[in-house]
Amino acid sequence: MSIKTIKWVENHARIIDQTKLPGRLEYIDCRDVETMWQAIKRLSVRGAPAIGVAAAFGVLLGIQKFKGQDKAKFLELFNKTCDYLSTSRPTAVNLFNMLNEMRAMVRSNPQADVANLKKLLYKQAMLIFKTDRDVCRRMGDHGAKLIKNGMRCLTVCNAGALATVDYGTALGVFYSAKKQGKKFSAYSCETRPLLQGARLTCWELLRQKIDTTLICDNMAASLMAKKHVDIIFTGADRIASNGDTANKIGTYMLAVLAKHHGVPFYIVAPRSTFDLKIKSGRQIPIEERKGEEVTHFAGVSIAPKGVKVYNPAFDVTPADLITGIVTEYGIIHPPYVKNISVILSAAKDLNEFIPTR
């Protein structure tokens, strides 16, 4: 039942086409960087960590057809490829962070020739891929400590295997808790407009035999008022150095409701989702997507022609509404301004996470 959201197969990337789920489990073989760019843009592959891996694989696709030994030309193509991939989506910082990891590999090997650089970049992309697998399992194990028997856990959007290589951030916590034999149930907010909760999270959780109930986003408040929600876990697209967190639209709503009802609210995200260059959530660019995502479903119009639409894909949850941030190093608690830098600076290098298995 394992889910392979993205992997490298011989000389190309294979991704699950998430726009087809839950109806059909189909794959897209990305053999050039343009196909990968489109796949990211139209959300065939989505979820901050998965986008990071997709970007690294996109770089491999962009450079692998380069012939010859002209290093200047190679570097020109490499940089153009990175710049191009960075235009696919604006909010999830994993995209930029992983492109930076690829750039750093080139920068730190100034003597390498073209053939060598290709090998080094391949190695780096595979490290990024393997790191995601390892890091998600570590986060899951840390987060699972928060789940007690009988708990009802709420989540939004999809922060699962489909948002990462194969395990998940918020849903990784569920999977680890399940492995540990804990009994709990899940509420999945459907997550309008693109219904990643209904389509993807419910699909994943049912495959893993987790007791799951689907709700519309506007029902979460009512559930909390009835004390049917014990804890909330969500993923993240970008976390500022003060702990402010951008995630799927509706996350901030849940955080405010959680505060009002006294429900613990946790973010689950790896180091690659932190953007320590920015001080607060105000500096996070929020992607606005086209109105048709809201006004149409499966080609059918659900709103009168000509109505204006506001369709931000993300919102920002201020740090003071976040109970804790589950990372691969453990759970970071407030004060975030101090604790994020203390914990993340303890491990500066991706190489620390090479999976040993």
Residue 1 near a copy of itself by CB under 8 A: no
Count of beta carbons in the 10 Å neighbourhood of residue 278? 17
Contact stretch for a copy of itself (CB under 8 A) within 122-130, 271-279, 305-313, 341-349:
305-313
Q: Say how far apart CA 246 and CA 317 lie, in whole Å.
A: 6
Q: Say how far apart CA 241 and CA 257 lie, in whole Å.
A: 24
Q: Are 64 and 107 in contact (CB under 8 A)?
A: no
* 102 or 194: CB nearest a copy of itself: 194
CB of 84 to a copy of itself, least distance (A): 30
Binding mask 204-233 for a copy of itself (x = CB under 8 A): --x----xxxxxxxxxxxxx-x--------
- In b/e form, how buried is each residue of 39-67, taking b as 16+ CB within 10 angstroms? bbeebbbbbbbbbbbbbbbbbbbbbeebe
Give the one residue of 1, 10, 23, 72 binding a copy of itself; rule: CB under 8 A: 23
Q: Which residues contact 270 (CB under 8 A, 6 or more apart)?
A: 49, 132, 135, 136, 139, 169, 327, 328
* 82 or 194: CB nearest a copy of itself: 194
Residue 260 near a copy of itself by CB under 8 A: yes
CB of 261 to a copy of itself, least distance (A): 8
Which tokens go with 146?
A: 């928060």
Q: Are 263 and 256 in contact (CB under 8 A)?
A: no
- Catalytic residue, chosen from 134, 237, 275, 315, is 237
Residue 284 carries which DSSP code?
S
Look up residue 326 and give its amino acid.
V
Give the one residue of 10, 72, 209, 300 binding a copy of itself; rule: CB under 8 A: 300
Q: Say how far apart CA 216 and CA 275 lie, in whole Å.
A: 31
Residue 312 near a copy of itself by CB under 8 A: yes
- In b/e form, how buried is each residue of 72-104, taking b as 16+ CB within 10 angstroms? eebeebbeebbebbbebbbbbbbbbbbbbbbbe
* 81 or 247: CB nearest a copy of itself: 247
CB of 320 to a copy of itself, least distance (A): 12
Residue 297 near a copy of itself by CB under 8 A: yes
Which tokens go with 291?
A: 């109105």
Active site (annotated) includes residue 237: yes
Residue 138 near a copy of itself by CB under 8 A: no
Residue 304 near a copy of itself by CB under 8 A: yes
CB of 289 to a copy of itself, least distance (A): 11
Residue 295 near a copy of itself by CB under 8 A: yes
* Number of residues located near a copy of itself, criterion CB under 8 A: 55
Give the one residue of 24, 67, 209, 308 binding a copy of itself; rule: CB under 8 A: 308
Which tokens go with 147?
A: 């789940």
Q: What are the residues binding a copy of itself (CB under 8 A)? A: 22-23, 187, 189-193, 195, 198-199, 202-203, 206, 211-223, 225, 249-250, 252-253, 256-257, 259-260, 291, 294-295, 297-298, 300-304, 306-312, 315-316
List the catalytic residues: 237
